[in-house]
Amino acid sequence: MPKTVEIFKASGLTPDDFSKGIFAIMAVMMSEELSTSEDKTVKANADFIAANKDQADAIFGSFMTLGEPAPSPSSPAPPANP
């Protein structure tokens, strides 16, 4: 946890801001219907993620691996994502 606190402090990002951002990314990435929403905020989030798809994919993928156990030292490293 100290490393997480250090990253939040260095970036100026609060845990609440991070949660709001990652949940918005998750919602849009998991539902194509949100891209046609009449809600301006939802539509803006969907448009932003579409315009930044590679970065959103990387952030979402990294977030989803947070709960996975680290590989044991004797395990080969997983292949890098292209």
Residue 9 lies in a domain: no
Residue 80 lies in a domain: no
Instruction: Please list the pLDDT of the chain residue by residue as tens digits (82 residues).
Output: 678 788 888 988 888 998 888 888 888 888 888 888 899 998 898 899 889 989 988 888 888 787 777 777 765 666 666 5
Residue 6 lies in a domain: no
Q: Which residue range(s) make up the domain with 36? A: 15-64
d(CA 31, CA 46): 10
Alpha-helix residue ranges (DSSP H) falling in 12-76: 15-30, 40-51, 53-64
The model scores a pTM over 0.95: no
Residue 78 lies in a domain: no
Residue 51 lies in a domain: yes
